[in-house]
Structure 1
């Protein structure tokens, strides 16, 4: 068992990320279900639900679609981040290549370069939402 943990300890982090994503999705589902139950109660009484409740139901979806997650400014910061990381890992690959162990750094540098290119394309071609 010790060998298994020593070889695969790093799997804790992706599993933790998956667990947190599932927890967030479940919490969002429960919150939306409660809001819809309240709307259903108003509908059964024949009353109009408050506008604030209907706005709260749609607000998060609109923010996700049109919000800051897709703004070009966000992608420019990702261009800088992935560019610096790619250069750093590229320098690491070059410096460790003399010892014959630089190939993992090369792979990471290539991935970071691809992420830089992806962020650059998004920063250039995603239109800024009106009023932002």
Structure 2
């Protein structure tokens, strides 16, 4: 049994990610269920729910800019798309995945676990490709921004 933990210690990380991801989804479900219950309470009493409550039920977005912020009718949709899929997201993913890939490359070069160097190299190559792809997307997204008038 002790040999099992020394061979598969790295399984702690994906299992931890799965557990915390499931916990995050459960909390999101509870939050949305409570919001819908509160909206039902307002409608059962014949009152209009507050706009903040309705916005919270639609998603976890920050409040949108004013309608005349971009100066055209596509402002809200362009802002929402940029918030979700803008280059900042790609920059964050490129930096975080690149850091993890660097850690695996260091693990391969140092040779602390000679039995796992092949697996570490394989993971490092894949993570490096993912980081390079997100870096390219972030660079293109930063240089060639689409405005709301070119939607």
TM-score by length of 1: 0.66
Q: 1:73 to 1:31 in 2, by over 3 A?
A: closer
Within the alignment, does 1:120 sit opposite 2:135 as a pair?
yes
Mind listing any 5+ residue stretches in structure 1 that lack a counterpart?
A: none
CA contact (8 A) 1:42 1:48 kept: yes
- Cα deviations across residues 43-75 of structure 1 (Å, max 9, x unaligned)? 222221111211222241x46x64655321342
* Stretch deviating more after TM superposition (46-55 or 27-36): 46-55
Q: Which residue of structure 1 aligns with residue 37 of structure 2?
A: 37
Within the alignment, does 1:89 sit opposite 2:110 as a pair?
no
Q: 1:119 to 1:26 in 2, by over 3 A?
A: same
TM-score by length of 2: 0.59
Which one has the bigger helix percentage? 1
CA contact (8 A) 1:71 1:129 kept: no
TM superposition shift of 1:24: 0.7
Q: Which residue of structure 1 aligns with residue 28 of structure 2?
A: 28
**What do you get for the CA RMSD once the two structures are aligned?**
3.8
- Structure 1 segments, 4+ long, off by >6 Å, are none
TM superposition shift of 1:84: 9.8
Mind listing any 5+ residue stretches in structure 2 that lack a counterpart?
A: 63-79
Q: Which residue of structure 1 aligns with residue 18 of structure 2?
A: 18
Q: 1:38 to 1:102 in 2, by over 3 A?
A: closer
Q: 1:113 to 1:57 in 2, by over 3 A?
A: same
Aligned length: 125
